[in-house]
Amino acid sequence: MDGDKRRFGFWNPTPTRHTPLEDAQGLFASSMIAALGLALMGSAGLVASGTAGVAFVLHYLTGVSFGLYYTVVNIPFYVLALKRLGWAFTIKTVLAVTMTSLITELQPHFVTIESIDPMWTAVLAGILLGFGLLGLYRHRASLGGIGVLAVYMQERFGIRAGLVQLAFDVVVLIAAFSVAAPFIVLCSVVGALVLNLFLTVNHRADRYIAM
């Protein structure tokens, strides 16, 4: 009985290592939370941070599916993940990106948003994305793209993941002026600040070392 509990993850006898079941539920729950944040941003016409922001800009410019762009934009970063962070991190990241992309595409069939305030959405979506990314980071995964680089920079050089992500977001948000009104870009900036400050404060290796 104890062996079954240990194997399936109902309790973990080694506090510093996640079981496969713990990783699976962590990836799924985090992807669901992140997808909700992305859906809110899309409903308000905002631009997200990271590679999701790049995917949003391309989506607004061409009308092609956000989920498709998000999947494609992340592919080059999988090479960095594989070389620098290993197979386990890469596989979990591919799964997280795939789930988030699929859930984001399916979500409009289940959730309809008729009216939404852009500034309130920016704050709420930033917090939701922050929780989603934090959950993935703590299960040794990310939402791909700059998240892979951010985790690598923190682990290799001690630079906070949130600060790395913030620098990349500045470039993405400048590009957002080509597809959105200044006020929407301002709201997107607020969302990026909320997300990255959330990660900077909460994603610290000295506070959470489970793998």
Within-domain flag for 74:
yes
Q: Is 126 exposed, middle or buried (0-12, 13-18, 19+ CB in 10 A)?
A: buried
What is the pTM for the complete model shown? 0.78
Contact 165, 196 (CB under 8 A): yes
For 144, the domain range is 25-202
Give me the pLDDT at residue 183, please: 94
Residue type for 150, please? Answer: A
Within-domain flag for 19:
no
User: Rounded distance, CA 138 to CA 92, Å?
Assistant: 12
Total number of domains constituting the chain: 1
User: Rounded distance, CA 47 to CA 44, Å?
Assistant: 9
In tens digits, the chain (211 residues) has pLDDT values of 444 444 444 444 555 677 888 888 999 999 999 999 999 998 888 888 778 888 888 989 898 888 888 888 888 888 877 877 788 888 998 999 999 989 988 888 887 877 889 999 999 999 999 999 889 888 888 887 776 777 777 777 888 776 777 788 788 878 888 888 899 999 998 998 898 788 888 876 665 555 5
Give me the pLDDT at residue 125, please: 94
75-104 core/surface letters (b: 16 or more CB in 10 A; e: else): eebbeebbebbeeebbebbbbbbbbbbebb
Residue with tokens 């500045």: 170
Give me the pLDDT at residue 207, please: 59
Within-domain flag for 36:
yes
Within-domain flag for 4:
no
Neighbours of 205 (CB within 10 A): 11
Within-domain flag for 6:
no
User: Rounded distance, CA 101 to CA 167, Å?
Assistant: 24
User: Rounded distance, CA 67 to CA 211, Å?
Assistant: 28
143 CB-near residues (< 8 Å, 6+ apart): 34, 50, 51, 52, 74, 93, 96, 97, 100, 132, 133, 136
Query: Most distant CA pair in the chain: distance in Å?
Result: 60
Within-domain flag for 210:
no
